[in-house]
Amino acid sequence: MRKSSAIGLLAGLALILGAILLGSGWTKFLDPASLLVVLGGTGAALTVSRSFSDLRAVSVQVQEIFTFRRPSLQRHVDRLTNFGRIARREGVLALDRRLNDVDNDLLRFGLELTVDGMESAEVREMMNQRIAEQREQRQLAPEVLTTAGTYAPAFGMIGTLIGLIQMLQNLQDPTQIGAGMATALVTTFYGAVTANLVFLPLSNRARAQNQARRKVEYIVREGTLAIARGESPRMIEQRLTHLVHDDSAGRPEAQSAEAGEETAERQPAAAAA
């Protein structure tokens, strides 16, 4: 993923530059004022629509798009199975000594709750809350990048209108109309390129990476809950291995259905009480 993002951006820029250089008058595409209108206007609009704290978080998340490594699901299955084996053999409290070696924040959080003696229902509720908070924060990057992809072409059009207005005010020399029109259209070109080669593709990549993280969260949560319920290591491994190969695991629609099943299970119990 890290290589494909950089390669895609560089290849797109290379193709566009190649098409420009193969034509004539390539210097007309170098217009700092047009670039300033597109990038500066887009940045200003984002500042109006988002807080500075959100924009700082997005800047960090955009960097993570290029450094993202797809997590190994089998590694999490093996680790959770091993923790289940330790809990079954030595007791849940034995996991406390191994928490410092856990590099997944959600897994460490769930195991801490389990070691503290919470019931599996309470562990589920608190892990769900932590997952929801993390997902809301990670959603900032794709949302802001999509918004930027909407603003950039609009500011490109604004820059073109500015250029056309300036050109129409100076029609004394008809021979300059063509050059003035070309300069005015450069801003639209910049807006289209930045939106369709940078902002929108990066937004889609961020969404794909978030989906990969959701699968890990789902497996970690289910494995932690199985440990809290005292299930056997063999059952934990079989359950999580099934989730690894289940394409619907971790998706929003699957989790909505799961939440509905949990609600349906609680309602008969409440009625019986």
Residue 77 has pLDDT above 90, yes or no: yes
The pLDDT-based confidence of 16 (bands split at 50, 70, 90) is confident
The Cβ-side half-sphere exposure at 197, using a 13 Å CA radius, reads 18
CA-nearest of 220, 270, 224 to 244 is 220
Question: In this structure, is residue 239 part of a structural domain?
Answer: yes
Q: Which domain holds residue 163?
A: 31-63+70-259
pLDDT confidence of residue 2:
58
pLDDT tens digits, 241-256? 998 887 666 665 445 4
Q: Residue 6 domain-assigned?
A: no
Portion of the chain with pLDDT greater than 90, in percent: 54
Mean pLDDT, range 232-240, rounded to an integer: 92
Q: Give mean pLDDT, residues 7-36.
A: 81
Cα 225 vs. chain centroid, distance in angstroms?
Answer: 26
Question: Given pLDDT bands bounded at 50, 70 and 90, which one contains residue 27?
Answer: confident
Whether 25 maps to a domain, the answer reads no
Mean pLDDT of 30-35: 86
92, part of any domain: yes
pLDDT digits 0-9 by tens, 207-234: 999 999 999 999 999 999 999 999 999 9
Contact 139, 156 (CB under 8 A): no
Instruction: Please provide the distance, in angstroms rounded to a whole number, between the alpha carbons at the two ends of the chain.
Output: 52
Distance CA 218, CA 248 (A): 11
Q: How many domains does the chain have?
A: 1
The model's pLDDT over 168-210, given as tens digits with 9 standing for 90+, comes to 777 676 666 766 677 788 899 999 999 999 999 999 999 999 9
Neighbours of 77 (CB within 10 A): 21
**Structural domain contains residue 255:** yes
Which spans in the chain are helix H?
A: 2-22, 32-35, 41-49, 52-67, 73-90, 105-115, 120-138, 140-168, 177-193, 200-228, 233-244, 252-272
Residue that wins the pLDDT comparison between 9 and 3: 9
pLDDT category at 269 given cuts 50, 70, 90 is: very low
Low-confidence winner among 77-86, 111-120, 164-173, 206-215 (lowest mean pLDDT) = 164-173
**Does 84 fall in a domain?**
yes
Q: What is the mean pLDDT of residues 41-45?
A: 95
Long-range contacts of 109-112 (CB under 8 A, 24+ apart): 110/220, 110/221, 110/224, 110/225, 110/228, 111/83, 111/224, 111/227
For the segment 41-52, the average pLDDT, to the nearest whole number, is 94
Does some domain include residue 111? Answer: yes
- Alpha carbons 106 and 122: distance in angstroms, whole number: 15
Over residues 41-59, the mean pLDDT reads: 94
Tell me, yes or no, whether 179 lies in a domain. yes
Q: Among 233, 238, 240, which Cα is nearest to 85's?
A: 233
Across all residues in the chain, what is the average pLDDT? Answer: 85
pLDDT digits (tens, 9 = 90+) for 140-155: 999 999 999 999 999 9
Two tokens at 140? Answer: 């900032």
Question: Is-contact 96 113, C-beta < 8 A?
Answer: no
Question: Does pTM surpass 0.75?
Answer: yes
Determine the Cα–Cα distance for residues 144 and 50; give it in Å rounded to an integer.
8
